Amino acid sequence: MKNIKIRVGHGIDAHRFVKGRPLILGGIEIPFEKGLKGHSDADVVIHSIIDALLGAAALDDIGTHFPNTEPQYQNISSGILLKKTLSLIRKHSYHIGNIDVTIISQEPKVRPFIPQMRQNISSILGLPIEKISIKATTTEKMGFTGRKEGILSSATALIRK
Ligand SMILES: [Zn+2]
């Protein structure tokens, strides 16, 4: 019998709201008066997915592979970083089983944009949309997301070889 290895990984990321930047979540531009602060496009959703995938493969984290001190990553679309992460885990003979994300945001309401985000991430990763789950919740006005200071994203990924 073939020896199949299944591994799970978790990723978490948060970015602070700032004026004068577009809000990009899951590669989709969301209409809002503020965006997220960061070296790249600050796509907190994709960053959490990258860390979940790297974590599942025990390949360190996003900051190690894509340092925020490198000019080449300034304002970069995080979809490009996700694609590079996919190549990296493929190089280690892993395939993605499924990804599950929870976005924690008091404002804006991101739920209407979830189908587009799932579509975008599944096309970046070359996976059927059923393998990408994205959910959204609030913290009932508690904590930094509740005070609308920023957005948190948490992701779990299963990989196998
Ligand atoms: Zn980030």
In a structure prediction context, what are the per-residue pLDDT tens digits for the chain, which is 161 residues long? 678 899 999 999 999 999 999 999 999 999 999 999 999 999 999 999 999 999 999 999 999 999 989 999 999 999 999 999 999 999 999 999 999 999 999 999 999 999 999 999 999 999 999 999 999 999 999 999 999 999 999 999 999 99
CATH of the domain at 127: 3.30.1330.50
Q: How many domains does the chain have?
A: 1
Q: Is 142 among the domain residues?
A: yes
Cα→Cα distances 72→17, 81, 85, Å: 23, 11, 16
- How many angstroms does the Cα of residue 63 sit away from the middle of ligand 1? 9
* The predicted structure's pLDDT at residue 21: 96
- How many angstroms does the Cα of residue 126 sit away from the middle of ligand 1? 22
Q: Is 99 among the domain residues?
A: yes
Residues 6+ apart with CB under 8 A from 75: 39, 40, 41
- How many angstroms does the Cα of residue 47 sit away from the middle of ligand 1? 5
* The predicted structure's pLDDT at residue 104: 98
- How many angstroms does the Cα of residue 13 sit away from the middle of ligand 1? 5
Which structural domain, as residue segments, surrounds residue 23? 6-160
Q: Is 109 among the domain residues?
A: yes
What are the φ and ψ backbone dihedral angles of 25, each rounded to 5 degrees? -130, 125
- How many angstroms does the Cα of residue 78 sit away from the middle of ligand 1? 9
- How many angstroms does the Cα of residue 133 sit away from the middle of ligand 1? 19
Q: Is 1 among the domain residues?
A: no
Identify the CA nearest to 59 among candidates 98, 88, 84.
88
- Name the token pair of 37: 């602060």
